[in-house]
């Protein structure tokens, strides 16, 4: 049942609005911590190089597969796939809905922590025992409460619609986020010992270039960070008219995402080395963000509260604009498929996700497991399906769509993009999926065997 034709489809009001909304989806918790951490683990500048290469070869072409299918279909994933590729592809659309539900359920719990830490910076200051504090608040009733609060914010924006909610929030929040990240990185450069931090972050270990696990980490980081493989970019593009230059937009979004991730590393590493927090960091990735960095703010006294407030506001803002896109995939599918009003659809899907999130909010291992399954494996699987669909079955339609609205300079890239989707993306993603499947299975076994 498709009722979308009964009312004109919502649309972005400006080209910049679409680009900032897509960049808002991409820039999030994945940039702020996951990227710097993986870079330092994966050979520093060597990882950064692999990551840039994979962004060009996998990221931009896949984003364009989503953009092309979405704008062509003018419906959320389920409807667009049915319309363009036939009923056999509808289950893929529902897989995307499920992945959106799953990722948002734990993403919102982490985002809830950032809200909490931001409020604490204002009202209480950072605690002296930051590891103990994190252990006490990361799981349990408090975590549920902040998760619910964050979901309420996300639902409110999505109820506002494409133009009045998503676009307006992105136009306001993204420039703010860019300013704050750059400001914080400049401040971090003044810390004693900053140089040591940069060195550890970016020290090139060339032999890591040949390490397959570095490639797997970089590929899955690219998928997660660029929000690919779950129909989020597809859904946003379904609100576009044909005058948007899609290849240019995808390139701008991908480089913005990379830029923020890179600058986040220039912020986090000087802090860690200036305050000698290496040990706290090596314990866990989550720990670094919510244990090591806050303990630096605590050590700095009153100034630390101000800097810390900015830091957690940046995290929360990045998380919010990403969460919007996760919820929008689910909400838009319910609107398109079942004809619910936007308000009802957002409240209903938001409530389901809030309920699901209670599990990861009570169990931090479940949170990690969900991230492996949905945030890594399922995104890769979804991306593979999208590459095959756009590169083979819908090649003519996608090519036509990417040409429309593109300047001649970008039009010349379109055949190259489609060839990449056909011949390069699938084998690379299959290889990465293989390694990811092994790791995910091991994580599942470990979780249930504990």
Give 173's contacts (C-beta < 8 A, 6+ positions apart).
24, 317, 320, 321
How near is the Cβ of 258 to ligand PHE at its closest, in Å? Answer: 11
Helices of type H across 238-277? 246-274
> C-beta of 318: minimal distance to ligand PHE in Å?
7
Q: In sequence order, which ranges of 34-140 are alpha helices (DSSP H)?
A: 35-41, 45-54, 60-73, 77-85, 90-123, 130-137
Q: How many CB atoms neighbour CB 297 within 10 A?
A: 24
Give the burial string for 307-338 (b: 16+ CB within 10 Å, else e). Answer: bbbbbbbbbbbbbbbbbbbbbbbbbbbbbbbe
By C-beta, is 173 or 300 nearer to ligand PHE? 173
Indicate the burial class of 43 (C-beta count within 10 angstroms; 0-12, 13-18, 19 or more).
buried
Q: In whole angstroms, how close is the CB of 26 to ligand PHE at the nearest point?
A: 5
Minimum distance from residue 232 beta carbon to ligand PHE (Å): 5
Question: Cβ 117 to ligand PHE, closest distance in Å?
Answer: 17
Of 38 and 399, CB closest to ligand PHE: 38
Cβ contacts of 431 within 8 Å, gap of 6 or more: none
Residues that bind ligand PHE (CB under 6 A): 25-26, 28-31, 103, 224-225, 227, 230, 232, 322, 325-326
Shortest separation between residue 306's beta carbon and ligand PHE, angstroms: 25
Q: Which is nearer to ligand PHE, 380 or 398 (CB)?
A: 380
- Closer to ligand PHE at the Cβ: 114 or 354? 114
- Closest residue by Cα to residue 236 from 382, 425, 23, 1: 23
Q: What is the nearest approach in angstroms of ligand PHE to the Cβ of residue 80?
A: 17
Q: Which is nearer to ligand PHE, 378 or 406 (CB)?
A: 378
User: Which CB sits closer to ligand PHE, 146 or 223?
Assistant: 223
Judged by beta carbon, residue 349 or residue 399, the one nearer ligand PHE is 349
In whole angstroms, what is the distance from residue 137 CA to residue 297 CA? 18
């Amino acid at each position: 049942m498709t009722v979308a034709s009964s009312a004109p489809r919502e649309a972005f009001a400006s080209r910049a609005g679409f680009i900032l909304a897509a960049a808002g989806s991409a820039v999030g918790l994945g940039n702020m911590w996951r990227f710097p951490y993986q870079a330092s683990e994966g050979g520093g500048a060597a990882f950064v190089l692999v990551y840039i290469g994979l962004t060009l070869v996998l990221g931009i072409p896949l984003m364009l597969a989503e953009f092309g299918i979405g704008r062509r279909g003018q419906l959320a994933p389920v409807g667009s796939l049915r319309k363009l590729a036939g009923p056999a592809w509808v289950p893929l659309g529902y897989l995307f809905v499920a992945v959106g539900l799953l990722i948002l359920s734990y993403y919102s719990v982490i985002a809830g922590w950032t809200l909490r830490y931001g409020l604490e910076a204002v009202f209480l200051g950072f605690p002296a025992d930051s590891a103990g504090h994190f252990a006490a608040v990361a799981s349990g009733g408090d975590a549920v409460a902040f998760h619910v609060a964050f979901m309420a914010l996300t639902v409110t924006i999505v109820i506002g619609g494409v133009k009045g909610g998503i676009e307006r929030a992105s136009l306001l929040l993204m420039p703010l986020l860019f300013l704050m990240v750059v400001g914080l990185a400049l401040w971090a450069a003044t810390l004693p010992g900053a140089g040591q931090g940069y060195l550890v972050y970016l020290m090139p270990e060339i032999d890591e270039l040949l390490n397959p696990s570095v490639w797997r980490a970089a590929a899955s980081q690219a998928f997660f960070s660029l929000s690919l493989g779950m129909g989020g970019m597809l859904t946003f593009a379904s609100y576009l008219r044909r005058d948007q230059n899609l290849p240019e937009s995808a390139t701008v979004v991908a480089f913005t995402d990379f830029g923020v991730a890179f600058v986040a590393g220039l912020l986090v590493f000087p802090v860690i080395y200036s305050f000698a927090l290496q040990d706290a960091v090596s314990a866990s990735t989550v720990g670094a963000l919510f244990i090591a960095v806050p303990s630096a703010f605590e050590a700095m006294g009153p100034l630390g509260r101000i800097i810390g407030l900015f830091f957690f506001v940046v995290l929360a803002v990045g998380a919010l604009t990403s969460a919007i896109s996760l919820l929008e995939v689910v909400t838009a599918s319910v609107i398109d498929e079942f004809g619910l009003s936007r308000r009802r659809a957002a409240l209903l899907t938001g409530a389901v996700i809030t309920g699901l999130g209670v599990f990861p909010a009570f169990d931090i291992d479940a949170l990690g497991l969900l991230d492996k399954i949905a945030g890594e494996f399922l995104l890769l699987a979804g991306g593979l399906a999208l590459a095959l669909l756009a590169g083979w079955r819908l090649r003519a339609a996608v090519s036509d769509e990417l040409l429309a609205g593109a300047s001649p300079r970008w039009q010349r890239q379109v055949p190259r993009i489609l060839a990449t989707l056909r011949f390069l993306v699938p084998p690379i993603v299959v290889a990465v999926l293989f390694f990811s499947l092994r790791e995910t299975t091991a994580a599942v076994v470990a979780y249930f065997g504990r």
